[in-house]
Amino acid sequence: MFPIRKGRARLLGQAALALFWSLGLATPALHAARGEAESPEGSGTFPDPGSIEEIVVHGEARPTMDVLAGASISRVGTDERLIEGARIDDLLAEMPGVQIRRFGGVGERFEISIRGSRPEQVPVFLDGVRLDTSLTGRSDLSTLCLDVLQEIQVTRGAGAARAGSGAIGGVVNLVTRNAKARPETRLRVSAGSFGSIEGSLRHARRIDEWSVSGSYCGFHTDGDYRFQRARQFIGGLPTGSARVEKRVNNESDRHTGLFRIGHPIGGGRVRLTQLVSHLDRGLPGLETNPRTRAKERNLSSLTSLGLELPVSLLPSGEFEAVLSHRFERNRFEDPLPFLAGDPIQTRTEVHGSALRARIGLGFDALSGRHELDLLTEARLDLRQSNETTSRSRAGIALRLELESSWWGDRLRLSPSLRMERFEGLDVEWIPGIVIRIEPLDWIVLRSAIARSYRVPSFQELYLPDKGFERGNEDLLPEEAWSFEIGATLESPFAHPWLDGEVEATWFAGEIENGIAFQLISSNVSAPVNTGRSQTRGYEISLRWTPHPWIRTTATRTVTRAKLESTHEQVVGVAVSQTDFRIELGPRDRLKIVGELHYTGRLPVSQNGAAVLPSRIAYDASASIDLTRFPFLHLERFGRALWLSVRGRNLGNAAIRDSRSFPRPGRNFSVALESVF
């Protein structure tokens, strides 16, 4: 564990004081609640307020090997948003504390930042199985489509105690679709600007005791679009002209398939999940150095086998094991590299195998309910490339976690400790604690403090020279800690006009040896350790439903993430982000949605000399279920037939999330989805 400096020790002391202060403040209310619960006039029990690790259940029970660990967890279902023509990045961008950096138009990659983190500091899981590989240390979610998912779950704040290396900013868990009691088939097609077309087919059903679900989605875009070049500023004055040009080499083809099967066994359940994704797209490169012939081909798969069994020898005992294998092959070629150099052609393969086993037991003691979990995990990653020698890395981890609750879950305390070691590195100890208090039915107080760290990915260490980027074998691991305290207030009034919720969170964190890609020459970037950075900020989210046909949400996040060496905002982290959404109409037949997205100033250079100004983007969509109108006589096309139109960047603003990667202007899409 890295040494504690004076400033950090002071702030840690303040954090600990805040934890105990919040606990002490709520104690009288907790005792009062306990007395109310035990009175003869009461029912004797409280409504279950939900756990900080609660998993929403849809039909079939979700795996209990939960990777979400923290005080702030958000969830969003996908069916309602698919009808609107939304994508994965749209849903993630609306969550408090989450910023999305997009690097082009439809089908191009995007990055996830949570509370000022880098994308490599946000591991992504699929049903609790790690999706990112050691090749990049992150997941390219542009290779997936929203159709194969049932829910997106996000933990904000350090989650390394459960998720392992990399969970500095937070954790994303993608929940796949499962079978329901009634067979269901969905067919969706859409088309939009830039020659884009997408289609998906998914089906789920139960056959006796078997649950089976399968999904496929395909996507193609020509991708080329016009954009406005960024003007250069010298001495605070603009130079040159912001001329309009065409961004080329954006063609992209993507195919994704997912299959899931499950069956009861010995009082538990066994599950097999197979995900396959193929991506073939152009890489246009930097705006100042466009690559008109560069191509990337990526093939990836994830296979996981899970087993859940009760353990009769232990009180409320349960056992779970997951064996998984992740494969990724990436091919890059550029026949016309920069400065007429030799043609570039690289081929990289990564195999990642993991075994996770968990045993849990529940017991009553000290007037409370306790759940004790012991988890062990082993990983082996292997990288092969035609540009360099093969590399491998093994890792092991042990985790002990106790979740205790008192007074009908009014007070919940979750301490945990994880030991993790990777080949060639020292043992890392990762402690964490989460406190959740519900003094009243309409108030929830929460706080968490945790340590985390991240080992450099193979790509950061050994990325072959592509002419515009390469790796760095001298990188050090990142080490971090974080603290947060917040509250959620739900309206205690029964009147529909007062149906609302407010959530506020203050957070702080610190990272040692942060890793970021920087320009090491005029046209080549590489990952470097940027030193120590500090993050302070807050999140506020509001939900108000004055009428069943009027639903509004708003979120605002302010993030001050600064490097100690320069005292400048961390590159790629906007100072503030505000999102507002209003939804009108009865959801079962008609929806009209308006969205506003404000992004504060965004630094794009380490010295703070280059900053993108604040901006506002407007999106809107309209969706209608045609089968709800009898005079159309469309019932034969399914139980539902949704027609939707969506517009993005309606103000046609010249926006970008990176200095050298412009985004397209106004664009539209239309979709038709049948449910039968």
Task: Report pLDDT digits (tens) over 120-154.
Answer: 899 999 988 988 776 667 777 888 888 889 899 99
| Number of domain units in the chain | 1
pLDDT at 217: 93
Q: 420 falls in which pLDDT band (50, 70, 90)?
A: very high
| Tens digit of each residue's pLDDT (9 = 90 or more) over 189-205 | 999 999 999 999 999 99
Distances (CA, A) of 550 to 489, 586, 592, 593: 20, 9, 10, 10
- Give the model confidence (pLDDT) of 270-289 as tens digits: 999 999 999 999 988 878 77
pLDDT attached to residue 33: 41
Do 475 and 527 meet the contact criterion of CB atoms below 8 Å apart?
Answer: yes
The residue type at 281: R
- Residue-level length of the chain: 676
Mean pLDDT value across the chain = 84
State the Cα–Cα distance between residues 71 and 503, nearest whole angstrom. Answer: 12
**Does 425 fall in a domain?**
yes
Confidence at residue 26, expressed as pLDDT on a 0 to 100 scale: 40
Asked if residues 280 and 253 have their Cβ atoms less than 8 Å apart, the reply is yes
Res. 500: pLDDT tops 80: yes
Three-state DSSP at 503 gives: strand
Least confident stretch, 26-30, 139-143, 144-148, 469-473: 26-30
Q: Report pLDDT for 517.
A: 79
609: amino acid identity, one letter: A
Pick the residue with more confidence: 411 or 676?
Answer: 411
Task: Look at residue 386 in the predicted model and tell me its pLDDT.
Answer: 75
Q: And the tokens for 296? A: 């990337």
Tokens 């884009």, residue located: 196
pLDDT of residue 215: 93
**59 or 258: whose pLDDT is higher?**
258
638 exposed, middle or buried (CB, 10 Å; 0-12, 13-18, 19+)?
Answer: middle
Read off the tokens for 68.
């979400």
Q: How confident is the model at residue 437 (pLDDT cuts 50, 70, 90)?
A: very high
∠ CA 225-101-473 to the nearest 5 degrees?
110
Res 200: pLDDT? 94
- pLDDT band of 520, cuts 50, 70, 90: confident
Alpha-helical segments (H) within 356-432: none
Report the range of poorest mean pLDDT among 49-58, 327-336, 652-661.
49-58
- Asked whether residue 250 is domain-assigned, the answer is yes
Cα–Cα distance, 347 to 135 (Å, whole number): 12
Measuring CA to CA, which residue among 170, 158, 116, 115 is closest to residue 569? 116
Tokens 């407010």 found at: 502
Q: Is 320 exposed, middle or buried (CB count within 10 Å of its CB: 0-12, 13-18, 19+)?
A: buried
Q: Which domain holds residue 646?
A: 6-675
**Mean pLDDT along residues 429-455:** 93
DSSP 416-464: EEEEEEETTS--EEEEEEEEEEEEETTEEEEEEEEEEEEPPPHHHHH--
Return the pLDDT at 467. Answer: 66
Q: Can you give the three-state secondary structure of 624-644, one letter per residue?
A: EEHHHCHHHCCHHHCCEEEEE
Provide DSSP, 106-147: TT--EEEEETT--GGGS-EEETTEE---TTTSS--GGGS-GG
Predicted pLDDT of residue 42:
35
User: Rg of the Cα trace of the chain?
Assistant: 25
Of residues 4 and 591, the one with the higher pLDDT is 591
The answer to whether 316 and 363 have CB atoms below 8 angstroms apart is yes
CATH, residue 645? 2.40.170.20
Percent of residues, the chain, with pLDDT higher than 90: 50
Using the Cα atoms of residue 524, residue 293, residue 648 and residue 229 in order, give the sign of their dihedral: positive
Token pair 């600007």 is found at 193
The b-or-e profile of 380-409 (16+ CB within 10 A means b, else e) is bbbbebebbeeeebebebebebebbbbbbb
| Residue range 637-674, pLDDT digits in tens | 888 999 999 999 999 988 888 888 888 999 999 999 99
Is position 1 within any domain? no
- pLDDT tens-digit profile of 504-519? 999 999 999 988 877 7
- Does residue 29 carry a pLDDT above 50? no
Is pLDDT above 90 for 394? yes
Sign, CA dihedral 94-96-98-101, equals positive
Query: What's residue 530's pLDDT?
Result: 85
> Does residue 370 lie within any of the structural domains?
yes
pLDDT at 193: 94
* Structural contact between residues 321 and 357, judged by C-beta atoms closer than 8 angstroms: yes
125 is a domain residue = yes
Q: How far apart, in Å, are the Cα atoms of 282 and each of 220, 341, 663, 664?
A: 12, 19, 15, 16
Q: Which residue has the higher pLDDT, 261 or 235?
A: 261
pLDDT at 511: 93
In this predicted model, which residue has the larger pLDDT, 357 or 4?
357
Q: Report yes or no: 336 and 292 within 8 Å, Cβ to Cβ.
A: yes
Which of 48-52, 141-145, 303-307 is the least confident region?
A: 48-52
Mean pLDDT of the 442-451 span: 94
